[in-house]
Amino acid sequence: MISQKMQDAINAMINKEIYSEYLYLSMAAYLDSLGLSGMANFMKVQVQEERFHAMKFYDFVNERGGRIVLTDIKAPQVDFNSAMELFEMALKHEEFVTKSINELMDIALSENDHAAKSFLFWYVDEQVEEEASMDQIVNQLKMIDGKGHGMLMLDRELAQRTFNPPVK
């Protein structure tokens, strides 16, 4: 059985993951409007990942005998000054998600909830990859100053990304 405190915290995390999905979809729309379809593809794959993350939390709460309580999702930012600003914002957002996962782990540790600890280890590892991925793109955008042929090459590279759902 899941504790009320853990259930409430995971329900809040589900909201954050769904917001992440919504934010990345807004980012994809902006990138599509600039003709950066490869970068938009990267964000659309990110949308699928965030939905997967939310549903993984959803299933965990249900499997532990808890109850899902969904709340309002705030509207995401829709305008950005550049692809660079957008990816820097995405990196900051992933850092926020990492902090949120760490807070969930703190609850699991304080409650000695072994099932939650085991479950959350996957997210801890996933967030290392999420931050590294966004950081790499930000660094590449800085190298090319967000312009020219480098921008087109990066756009083509990001067009290759596909969603491969991890084994639960």
Q: Which of the following CATH numbers is that of domain 4-158: 1.20.1260.10, 1.10.3720.10, 1.10.579.10, 3.40.1190.20?
A: 1.20.1260.10
Per-residue tokens: 120? 């959350």
CB 6 within 8 A of CB 119: no
pLDDT bucket at 168, cuts 50 / 70 / 90: low
CA distance 96 to 87: 14
DSSP code of residue 147: -
The pTM score is 0.95
Domain coordinates in residue numbering, the chain: 4-158
Asked if pLDDT for residue 146 goes beyond 90, the answer is: no
CA distance 23 to 114: 32
CA-closest candidate to residue 155, choices 77, 17, 39:
39
Residues with Cβ within 8 Å of residue 84, at least 6 apart in sequence: 138, 141, 142, 146
Asked if pLDDT for residue 167 goes beyond 80, the answer is: no
CA distance 58 to 52: 10
pLDDT in tens, 30-66: 999 999 999 999 999 999 999 999 999 999 999 999 9
Per-residue tokens: 90? 């995405």
Q: What angle do CA 87, 76, 106 make, to 5 degrees?
A: 75
CA distance 110 to 132: 28
> Could you give the percent of the chain with pLDDT greater than 70?
99
